[in-house]
Structures are given as C-alpha cells and as structure tokens.
Structure 1
Amino acid sequence: MAPNPDRSTLVAPDKGTDSDPHLALPQWAVEGEATKFAAAVGRVHGTRIGKLPTVVDPGSQPPAAHSMAGKQQDQITSYYCGPAAVSEALAHLGISASQSTVATQLRTTGDGTAWSGVNANVSTAKTGYPVPDVLNYHLRNSSLRYYPVGYGSATSTVIANFKTRAVADISAADPVIGDAWETSSSAYHLVGHPRDRTIFHWYTMFGYSSSGSSITYEDSAHSSQVSWGSGVPEYSTLAATKLATINAGRGYVW
C-alpha cells in the first residue's frame, strides 16, 4: 500500500471510503492503547474503567484549559507535513529531530507519509503505523507511548473519546498528531486550507480550552513550499467536533 498523499493535485475520492488498510495493531499495542485510554478516562472524568479506581484525586484532574508553547515548523517540501508534524511533536517533548531525519525514519516519499501500511525505518517495534512508531523510537527511554486511533466517521462516541484523549495528553504536555482528510465535499477544513481539492495532511495539536471542546493546533502548511500555504496561519483553534470530523477516514495519534 502506497503512502497516503498529502499533496493537493489529486482527484477527490469518495469521503465515505478509505483505501488505507488501517492495519490491525499487534496485541501488545491494542492492550497498551486500552490501558492508556482507561487511565485517560479515569483522570479526565474520574470514571471507573477496567481495574482503575472508581474516583481519582480531584487535584490530579486536568484543568479546563491548557496550552503548551507553540513549536510550529514550516514544512521544507510540499509533501513533508508528516515529518514536520512529528518533528514539532518531538520538540514539544524536548527532543530535537530534523524534518529530514524524521522523513527517513517515516519512509516519507513524494506521495507523503503513510497513515498505515508502512513499517517505519527504526530499530524498535514496528506496527505498520509509521508515525507512532517513530515517536516511540525517540521516546524509547521514556514511559510515554503513542498509539494510533483510526475511525471511519466522527460519531458522538468518537468525538467524546477524542476530547478525552486530547485533554489527557495535552494537559500532561504531550502533543497529539492528527491526519486530516479534506475534500471539496467535506463539511469542515483546517483553517486556510483550500476547499476545492483533496488534501491529506498531518498536523500537531498542543492546546485545548473548554475542557477539550476547542483544540489549538500548529500547521506546517504555513510554508512557501506549499502552493496555498500563504493563506494558512501558523496556529489555529477549531472545535473538537470539527477536528474529529476532519480526521475521519484516517485518525489521530496520541
């Protein structure tokens, strides 16, 4: 399976179909994501899931709003939104890795960076999801782990879970990476993105407000290498409902 393109010269596909295989995660990754999500629910909502305590210390619950300092990077080629988003995320985590270095690790090609179906060029566990694999490679000496969350449409449950995951990660100073799928028929678009074409685009989320109802993100398409980049702000805020819908068909990495 070829990587998902993030360039703007494609014929728009049917938004309701997804040619990406959404590879099944290994069991250890399924269990790891489930454990991380249960902890997020317990922390954000104080709700029992699995073996978590019924309540959490109110003092440990995230604030209603939180934002890290922005780390936006202009992507250095028209198809480097994936490397830029990963490099930005790592910068939030105190790790320096250039877009060029990360692009090699992600196996980014002229068609962009894959959501799934491509093993990352790293020496640690490979799941077929290059973005979380590369993040985890750089975090191999840390307890933090990233996992992909893929879905076909933004149901109310998907949106609620997206908000929970985003609040849990961002309040802990851990950015979240989205993989937008925008077409001419999409209900919502990232700020400044053209509405007359198909765009697959990685971007980094680093802030939230109203307990996750609004999410702030940085956009590497603010770049002279992108034909329409002059109209894209470095930083924008959108409703979580809109971002969850924009990511539908691909997903996000948290």
Structure 2
Amino acid sequence: MRRLLVPAAAAAIAGVLGLAGAAAAEPLRPAEAAAAPAAAPAAAKELAVDYQVQETGYWCGPAAARIAMSARTGQLPSQADLAAQLGTTENGTDHISQISSALAANLGASYTFREMPADPPSQAQKDQLWTDIVADIDAGFAVVANIVAPPGNQPPGYPADRTIYHYFTVIGYDSSNMTVKIADSASFSGNQIYWLTFDQLATLIPPKGYAY
C-alpha cells in the first residue's frame, strides 16, 4: 500500500487535530472492527493525467515521470527539469531506479522500483506486477514501466522494423478483461493513450523494470 511521506512536524500537528476531533465519532470496538467487511478492490479504475508528447527523442523517461506525477498534482516540473533530475542524456535514462527516485522526491511518496530480469517472466513475477499495478492505481498513483519492444511484440503504431527501448506510464486497469491503460509519450502513429493486454505488458517489461 502506497503512503505519502509526512514530515515529523506535520505528523505531530495532524495528531493533535485528530485528537481534537475524536469526540465526533466513537471508534469501533474490537468486535465491531472484526465484523466490518473489507472493501473489495475495484474491478477497473483509470487515473486522470496531464498527457504530454516527449519533447525530444530521448526524453521518454522525463515525459513518463511527468505524466505519472500529474495523477497526483498540478504543480509539475518541465520535461527539461525532470531530465536534469534524472540525469537523462542523449542515450536516454539509464535505469528505472532513477524514475522511482525522482517520483519519490517530487511527490513526497514512497515510490520504489521492481526489476523483471527473467524473459519471459515467471507466473509469480506476472502476479506481482498485476498486484502492484492494481494497488497503485487504486491508491491514485500511476506506474512507470521501462520496456523493450522488439518487432513482433510492440504496442500500437510502433515502428515494426526495429526494437524500441522506452518508458511509458500505466494509468489504469480493467480486471474484467485483464487490460491496462497506457499513456505513451512517444505518440507513435498518433497512439497516445491506449489499452494493452496485461499479458503483453508483462512481456514488454523484461529484462527492465517498473516504478511503483
């Protein structure tokens, strides 16, 4: 479960405010709490984001990070600012950990990353990926994936004659048909926001990783 990182002083103030309002509602007794049904996870959810096409051929990392940030805040750095934070060069953004660190720093949230080195991934790795996507989207956080898309296994519109190394943002899921919604800053053939099957996403990420 994702949580925002709250400075100690702010946490102390929040604690005082919580005590001040405690009389408004009596907390559940242990027996009542045990009887309360757990909320079922949503079958589908999409996040509203501020989409941008990447401004250079190698700023997919900064653009994907900015799109992910926009699910949480309207106070967004430019792609150029994020490129500087990420250490992005003309060779791109080296590792998914740079994305998770920038998201954590800018949002004050506990973003981390998970690598998927096995290609094809194991069923356990696929299950973990789905769990991470659903938990993050349900909590209002987007996931950034680092992908490798070779000819024959590519999202819509990608150049079919070469392998594309790329970052894009997962902004939704639908468990009824096991699909994920992608915001893709490359805009290949005008494909900017689209749905992929989860199985295809799970084959695109190895041997890279994702920030969640």
TM over 0.5: yes
State the SS of the aligned residue for 2:186: coil
The yes-or-no answer on 1:105 pairing with 2:72 is: no
- Aligned residue runs from structure 1 range 139-178, under 5 A: 139-140=107-108, 144-152=109-117, 153=119, 154-178=121-145
Number of corresponding residues: 178
1:180 has 2:147 as partner: yes
- C-alpha separation in 2, matches of 1:56 and 1:115: 43
Residue 243 in 1 paired to residue 201 in 2?
A: yes
Q: For residues 95-143 of structure 1, what are the alpha-carbon distances to aligned partners after superposition, in whole Å with 9 as ceiling and x for unaligned?
A: 4111010000000000111116xxxxxxxxxxxx211111111123xxx
RMSD: 2.1
C-alpha distance in 2 between matches for 1:57 and 1:83: 41
User: What is the CA-CA distance between 1:212 and the residue it aligns to?
Assistant: 7.8
CA separation in 1, counterparts of 2:38 and 2:177? 17
Higher helix share: 2
CA distance in 1 between counterparts of 2:62 and 2:177 reads 26
Residues 49 and 68 in structure 2, CA contact (< 8 A), matched pair in contact too: no
Alpha-carbon distance between aligned partners in 2 of 1:63 and 1:56, rounded to the nearest angstrom: 18
Per the TM alignment, residue 70 of structure 1 is displaced from its structure 2 partner at its CA by 3.6
The answer for unaligned runs of 5 or more in structure 2 is: 3-34
8 Å Cα contact 1:164/1:212 also seen in 2: no
Distance in 1 between the 2:134 and 2:60 partners? 23
**Percent identity of paired positions between Structure 1 and Structure 2:** 31
TM-score, length-normalised on structure 2? Answer: 0.78
Question: Per-residue deviation at 1:56?
Answer: 9.1
- Tell me how far apart the structure 2 counterparts of residues 56 and 237 of structure 1 sit (CA, whole Å): 35
Per-residue deviation at 1:172? Answer: 1.1
Deviation digits for residues 52-111 of structure 1, max 9, x if unmatched? xxx99432x321001112422100011110000011111111141110100000000001
Cα-to-partner distance string for 1:142-190 (whole Å, 9 max, x where unaligned) = xx31111111222211111111110000011100001111223x5x212
| TM-score, normalised relative to structure 1 | 0.65
Question: Take 1:135 and 1:83, find their aligned partners in 2: how far apart are those partners?
Answer: 10
Rg comparison, structure with higher value: 2
